[in-house]
Amino acid sequence: MFQEKPTHRRLRGYAFDPSLSKKIDTVDINNIVYKVPWEEPLEVGPVGEYVEVMDYDPTIEKFYSPVDLNDKYILASDGLSPSESNPQFHQQMTYAVAMVTIQNFEKALGRKIIWAPRLLEDRNKYEDYVQRLRIYPHALREANAYYSPLKKAILCGYFSASPADKSRQMPGSLVFTCLSHDIIAHEVTHAILDGLHRYYNHPTNPDVLAFHEAFADLVALFQHFTFPDVLKHQIAKTKGELGKQNLLGQLAQQFGTAIGRYGSLRDALGSEDEKGEWTPAKPNPYDYDKHTEPHKRGSILVAAVFEAFLAIYKRRIQDLLQIASGGTGILPKGELHPDLVNRLAREASKTAAHVLRMCIRAIDYCPPVDITFGDYLRGIITADSDMVPEDTHHYRLAFINAFRQRGIYPEGIKTLSEESLRYQHPSAGLDSKTKALLEIITDFLKDYRNAIMYETDREKIFNISKDHIAGRGVLGLHDRIGMKFKDSPQFEKLTGLVFNHQCQDFGIWMTHNGPSYQIQNLRLVSRVGPDGGDPINQIVFGLVQRMRVVRKNGKYRIPDDISKPPKKSFEVLGGCTLIFDLDKIDLKYAISKPLLQPEKLDTGARELNFDRIEKHYIYETEVLPFSLTEAARYFGNGFKNNFGEPFSIMHNR
């Protein structure tokens, strides 16, 4: 009989990290089987479609022989058994976690993920397709692991533990970051986010790098809820109260302890002191003003999203608790009935999956540069309203409340309500000429959709998108926008970017006949909502403009000679995400970080957006160096030298 290809490969691994297999209360739940998408071919390494594990240890100049996951004995035993001392298992573990993380993104986004392209010499021109992210399980001999945007690789370190207290961990024992689900999921998320928004590793305000960190933590955290046995165990332990200390809300336990902390590296819910006492964290609206170090600041966003999750979960289990407690809401003493644990776990996993999807989908609704937490909240609310118009379970309200409690308010809105957070449809205020021009663009985008709709090969998707931007044989999207909108003040107002050729006075990055801009991440977004309602059919892309300015006597201006900008000049980024509705042939949203002053454009004046420039300047000169000095001092290298590796110094702690 003919056997169909399997959909999944089963691979054993740690749910968290090896340390939990050494504790009596977690040993039974920590060894799990990852269900990884079946890849064929899958070479030894493993080397598949998305990732390649390269096990070279430069400190001892040694290659470890690569695991063959298709070996019949390995295949028949759900992969190698978890082991700290077997490098082939390390390879298997990194591969499994990376693939599960990628799968979660593809499910939420409804499209293939593509790594950030390799930018060669002339970084504005040359973009090379990167098929595989490289993972080095033993790349560094230090307490660190990071994603390198330059190398398109994840470098995992290993080191000897130096715990604060001998009873927590054996001092000197080896800790491998590649064996931590949380660390691998976190780093892979950095890589995926880099592929979606390349400018999110350009720190132009205190939220940008913090957002990268928070987003990576959120994905790792919510993936905990996809491990059924872990979830049931923790629900039984906390009697369903997931706001209490539990493993699901913690990240990188072994790593945290090994670098001398009490408890995990990060905990979304609270913190542990030296006596082992755990106290829940309380939201403090002043933290957001105070913390500029990316991880600390990022943890505010993580806590906000986690609280939103808890609020939604509590609502969803209310009826179950009523039934189980005979209407009192207070559960009887003793253990929960296993049936109740199962039902609570089902609700928790459903809610977590939904919240994770909301968090991932919001990425398509964020500006291409200079993101703030407030922008992200607006992205979450808008993306979710597109998907689920009736918010019967008040998911969106839960997010808004949690952000408000932490003092996170988006700029430029007057009230923190769902209605004002949702981006508005811009077409209403446009004249017929601009509307007609937008229709021409939409028609072109339809051609792009037809070319890409059924394409499943990632390299072809990359090349088709690239050709549609640059144009091959026909005029591409880039030049079409430049030509159509060169005299359109309305388009400038919509995007906040400079398209008018007559703006020599600004001197903004002149190319042959106009200020230059890039098109980023052209993509087709097709999704069906949870109720199976009308599918969403959108084309999204980002416009990015870079502008060099000099500051003199507190005023900003464009350098006279753009080809030789003065040393003291700095670069400001402007950008706009445009979302087109293909069914209604309409521009649905324009999410902008303007270089031009939008209010001035109303009066016909074209003035630089001094507010944004000033904020950027203050951040770059006064806040950024300071917020990273601690890390720089600790590792003896300045931030400047490390700029190409924005995630390396930050993980080194």
Q: Which residues bind Zn ion (CB under 5 A)?
A: 213, 216
DSSP for 76-108, please give it.
HTTSSPP-SS-HHHHHHHHHHHHHHHHHHHHHH
DSSP for 528-587, please give it.
--TT--SPEEEEEEEEEEEEEEEEETTEEE--S-TTS--TT-EEEEEEEEEEEETTTTEE
Q: Which helix (H) or strand (E) holds 383?
A: helix 373-387
Cβ–Cβ < 8 Å for 562, 510 = yes
Minimum Å gap between C-beta 193 and Zn ion is 10
**Rounded CA gap, 621 and 518, in Å?**
26
Name the residue nearer to Zn ion (CB basis): 216 or 524: 216
Minimum Å gap between C-beta 191 and Zn ion is 10
**Rounded CA gap, 266 and 253, in Å?**
8
Name the residue nearer to Zn ion (CB basis): 21 or 148: 148
Name the residue nearer to Zn ion (CB basis): 142 or 467: 142
Main-chain phi, psi angles of 520, to 5 degrees: -115, 135
Cβ–Cβ < 8 Å for 211, 378 = no
Minimum Å gap between C-beta 40 and Zn ion is 32
Q: Which residues of 486-501 are buried (b: 16+ CB within 10 A; e: fewer)?
A: eebbbbbbbbbbbbbe
Q: Which helix (H) or strand (E) holds 555?
A: strand 555-557
Cα-Cα-Cα-Cα torsion 242, 246, 249, 254, nearest 10 degrees, comes to -170
Name the residue nearer to Zn ion (CB basis): 294 or 515: 294
Minimum Å gap between C-beta 37 and Zn ion is 24
Minimum Å gap between C-beta 305 and Zn ion is 16
Name the residue nearer to Zn ion (CB basis): 93 or 216: 216
Three-state secondary structure call for residue 593: strand
Minimum Å gap between C-beta 189 and Zn ion is 8
Minimum Å gap between C-beta 547 and Zn ion is 29
What length is written for the chain?
A: 653
Q: If we measure between CA atoms, which residue out of 340, 341, 321 comes closest to residue 331? A: 321
**Rounded CA gap, 159 and 143, in Å?**
6
Name the residue nearer to Zn ion (CB basis): 34 or 215: 215
Name the residue nearer to Zn ion (CB basis): 115 or 423: 115
**Rounded CA gap, 631 and 256, in Å?**
17
Three-state secondary structure call for residue 227: coil
Minimum Å gap between C-beta 653 and Zn ion is 11
Cβ–Cβ < 8 Å for 544, 555 = no
Minimum Å gap between C-beta 190 and Zn ion is 5
CA 426 to chain centre: 27
Name the residue nearer to Zn ion (CB basis): 133 or 216: 216
Q: Tell me, what amino acid is at 24?
A: I
Three-state secondary structure call for residue 550: strand
**Rounded CA gap, 323 and 113, in Å?**
43
Name the residue nearer to Zn ion (CB basis): 252 or 408: 252
Minimum Å gap between C-beta 651 and Zn ion is 5
Name the residue nearer to Zn ion (CB basis): 84 or 213: 213
Minimum Å gap between C-beta 197 and Zn ion is 15
Cβ–Cβ < 8 Å for 515, 503 = yes
Name the residue nearer to Zn ion (CB basis): 373 or 580: 373
